[in-house]
Amino acid sequence: MGKFRIRFEPDGGSATVEQGTTILEASRRAGVAMDAVCGGAGECGRCKVRPKGQFRSARSPLVSETEARAGVVLACKTTVEGDLTVEVLPRSKVGKHQILTKSVAEVPKRLTPWVTKKLIELPKATIEDNIADLERLLRTMGAPHMPVPLTALRALPEAVRKGGWKVTVTESSLDGRTEMCRVEPGDATDRLLGVAIDIGTTTIVVDLVDLLTGKVLCQASDYNKQMMRGEDVIARMMFAEEGGREELRFLVTETVNSAISTLLETGSSRAKSPIEREDIVAVSVAGNTIMAHLFLGLRTDNVRLEPYVPVAHRVRGLRGSDTALLVNPSAHVLLFPSRAGYVGGDVVADVLSSGMHRSDDLTLLVDVGTNGEVVLGRRDWLVSCSCSAGPAFEGGEVSSGMRAMEGAIDRIRINDDLSTSYHVLGEGKPLGICGSGLIDLIAEMFDHGIIDRKARVQSLGGRRTRTTDAGVEYVVEFKDRLGTDTSGDLVVTEADMQNLLRTKAAICGACSVLLRKTGESLENIRSIVIAGGFGHHLDIERAISIGMFPDVDRKKYRFIGNGALGGARVALLSGKRRREAGEIFEKMTYLELSVDNQFYDEFQSSLFIPHTDIERFPSAKKGPNGEAGKG
Ligand code: FES
């Protein structure tokens, strides 16, 4: 079988692959990140490319006539039959992402990391006192039984002599056991470092934290390289089941390690002496259950299938060496415990960041990312659920949708003549619409009568609404004003609207059902916490107006940004908060919505704008300008 060279444009990258390899696979081998929401199943239509050379392509209904005429094909449905130059279309690129790196978690007043450093002065060995280096050290420390890892033991003789019989010992006490983590020559007590890691399905963020001051020294983030193997957790689990588990473990580790490399470099350039991987002696990781499983190389098939059983909720005793992270191999790794298959350690970390578990006031926490998670509770109880909101607000399942990255419309208004005014991330020409833009759009289309309460697109005549074989669609922007010449007009279709409506209904339904099950009411809620990347760009007024979030006093809303990262960081710094994370995990009950009739009822009632029961949305009842709303 022949081998051929594939070159990717415009950003570069090439690979040599066998005949018959798909262009999507070739892009992965070339390290070219391409949008592939469905993982190459030919169902999402996101992997559009324009190849030149010899190839064989299956025609897909996801490629329009205009696109096909311009030579556009799906990368996952096109095989290499000769040397190729492949143009990756702008919307198919995994572009500069607006990764949410900010979090509002506090710096604890009293820093109590689980690692501490001690300067130990040893009596010099003599012929009368010639016990071994290790026993000498432990004898001096008064800790004869302290476990010592082999890495520290290997470093010991040189450290002792280089330091002139003075060494700095790093002790690590996590989960109630104190161990030696590291031995350094001389006095090295002025440096104690840890990393806090948020492993998201889409993005990964890592903070390098000074454990002596609580300060974040620097931060690095990137796409989770697993995205090459499917965008959502379901696609990843299926890939893992088909023999890809090890590859997924490798990809996520590689992403985290490349972020840590950046941190070592950036941190070193600002420090008195270079920062080495051995300097990172504490690691705190928060991620959803699937990400945590894949990070550890654990099976996920039982999480995917009913009754959705993870391998473990809580994993203790992890070391750097178990995870292949670019940190001290003996560093303890704290992995936030997962409550259920779809309520993971990231949600426990969100709760920890929000402080809702310490409050007497009833708080509702909503994290809308690739999946939607909702937690209701206060100091003495917490109930959580996952509402499989779907990827619509992350740009999936919506023809004009895209993630919040360069080229995405993140804010939009519809003018009286039905034309649009919008803001594009990166200030260039628009390529698509991200979640916050889509929420704006639903609200605006409803206000202008372009959709009815069931989100059905209305034909209003003119150029902006038009009827196609698939129903009526609204033109957000015409082709000549877009950033690509091949995608046709930017439109929202009947099917897009229904997907968006279902997503907002799932979130609204999840909030309502938690209130119903706990016998609480909206009036009792003192605070609504929005966590996650989505909340960052969100116009809360618009989200309420379409019935996605409760219609309560806007002052009750607060945003905590990347709660998972904030939680991971505070756990590095405070023993009290670490204990609280454990308590949150113990206390938080989980409600499985997929088999819950009440949720089904609430979901159905929410499939209207804003809701079947308009009384629940008094602001919407008044209408956008204070008049009665549209029926
Ligand atoms: Fe090609 Fe989804 S259609 S990756």
Residue 329: the pLDDT is: 97
517: part of which helix (H) or strand (E)? helix 494-518
pLDDT at residue 60, rounded to an integer: 87
Asked if 196 and 238 sit in the same domain, the reply is yes
Q: Whole-angstrom Cα distance, residue 40 to residue 546?
A: 33
The CATH number covering residue 143 comes to 3.10.20.880
Residue 250 CB contacts under 8 Å (≥ 6 apart), including other chains: none
pLDDT digit string, tens, across residues 287-344: 999 999 999 999 999 999 989 999 999 999 999 999 999 999 999 999 999 999 889 9
Final residue belonging to a domain, choices 127, 162, 183: 183
Same domain, 290 and 306: yes
In a domain, 623, yes or no: no
Is residue 107 domain-shared with residue 207, that is, in the same domain? yes
As a whole number of angstroms, the distance between CA 85 and CA 32 comes to: 13
If you average pLDDT over residues 449-475, what whole number do you get? 92
How many CB atoms neighbour CB 166 within 10 A?
Answer: 16
Query: In this predicted model, what pLDDT tens digit does every residue of 574-611 receive, in sequence order?
Result: 999 999 999 999 999 999 998 899 999 999 999 999 99
Handedness of CA 28, 32, 37, 41 (dihedral sign): negative
Which of 46, 48, 60, 239 most suits a substitution to test ligand 1, by most atoms within 8 Å of the C-beta? 46
Q: What is the pLDDT of residue 619?
A: 86
Residue 142, classed as helix, strand or coil, is: coil
Task: Look at the chain and report how many structural domains it folds into.
Answer: 4
> Directed axis angle between helix 563-573 and helix 345-354, to 10°?
80
The phi and psi torsions of 529 (rounded to 5 degrees) equal -100, 125
For the CA atoms of 51, 56, 60, 65, the dihedral, rounded to the nearest 10 degrees, stands at 60
Residue 289 lies in a domain: yes
Residue 62 CA, ligand 1 centroid: distance in Å: 9
Same domain, 353 and 205: yes
Of 155, 183, 211, the residue at which a domain comes to its end is 183
CATH number of 80's domain? 3.10.20.30
**468 CA from centroid of ligand 1 (Å):** 24
**Which atom of ligand 1 is closest in space to residue 75's alpha carbon?**
1
In contact, 179 and 172? CB cutoff 8 Å: yes
Whether pLDDT at 500 is above 50: yes
Residues 332 and 201 in one domain: yes
- The Å distance, Cα 74 to ligand 1 centre, comes to 7
Are residues 137 and 254 both part of a single domain?
A: no
Q: Are residues 36 and 101 in the same domain?
A: no
Residue pointed to by tokens 């972020």: 259
Structural domain containing residue 357: 97-113+192-390+509-617
pLDDT tens column, 118-163: 999 999 999 999 999 999 999 999 999 999 999 999 999 999 999 9
Distance CA 364, CA 583 (A): 18
Final residue of a domain: which of 449, 482, 500?
500
Tell me phi and psi for residue 65, to 5 degrees. -55, -45
Q: For a ligand 1 pocket test, name from 32, 34, 59, 76 the mutation site with the most ligand atoms within 8 angstroms of its C-beta.
A: 76
23 lines ligand 1 (CB under 6 A): no
In what helix (H) or strand (E) does residue 53 lie, and over which residues does it extend? strand 48-57
Same domain, 384 and 427: no
pLDDT digits 0-9 by tens, 159-178: 999 999 999 999 999 988 89
Specify whether the CB–CB gap between 370 and 232 falls below 8 A: yes
Query: Do both 461 and 549 map to the same domain?
Result: no
Cis peptide before 157 (omega within 30 of 0): no
**Closest-lying ligand 1 atom to the alpha carbon of residue 60:** 3
